[in-house]
């Protein structure tokens, strides 16, 4: 059995704030953007960790507000 701890695939808004350095309110606005790597269940948003960096690299410099 592998004893290494794996990172979760999905992270909540609180964890995403720590992971990305982006503010909570900004992330809550970003989850409304079509194509943003997240899912919603039970009124809560979860971001797809391994797709976040790709999303930000791909959309660098694009102002969405």
Q: How many CB atoms lie within 10 A of CB 30?
A: 20
Q: How far is CA 36 from CA 31, 44, 51, 62, in A?
A: 6, 15, 9, 13
Domain residue spans in the chain?
10-58
Q: How many CB atoms lie within 10 A of CB 16?
A: 23
CATH of domain 10-58: 3.90.105
What is the C-alpha separation between 13 and 21, in angstroms, rounded? 11
What is the C-alpha separation between 54 and 52, in angstroms, rounded? 5
What percent of the chain lies above the pLDDT cut of 90?
Answer: 71
Q: Is the pTM of this model over 0.85?
A: no
**pLDDT on residue 2:** 61
What is the C-alpha separation between 59 and 20, in angstroms, rounded? 15
pLDDT at 51 over 70: yes
**pLDDT on residue 65:** 59
Average confidence score pLDDT of the chain: 89
């Amino acid at each position: 059995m592998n004893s290494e701890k794996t990172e979760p695939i999905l992270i909540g808004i609180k964890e995403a704030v720590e992971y990305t350095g982006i503010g909570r309110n900004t992330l809550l606005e970003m989850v409304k953007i079509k194509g943003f790597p997240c899912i919603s269940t039970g009124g809560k948003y979860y971001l797809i960790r391994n797709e976040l960096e790709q999303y930000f690299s791909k959309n660098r410099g694009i102002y969405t507000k």
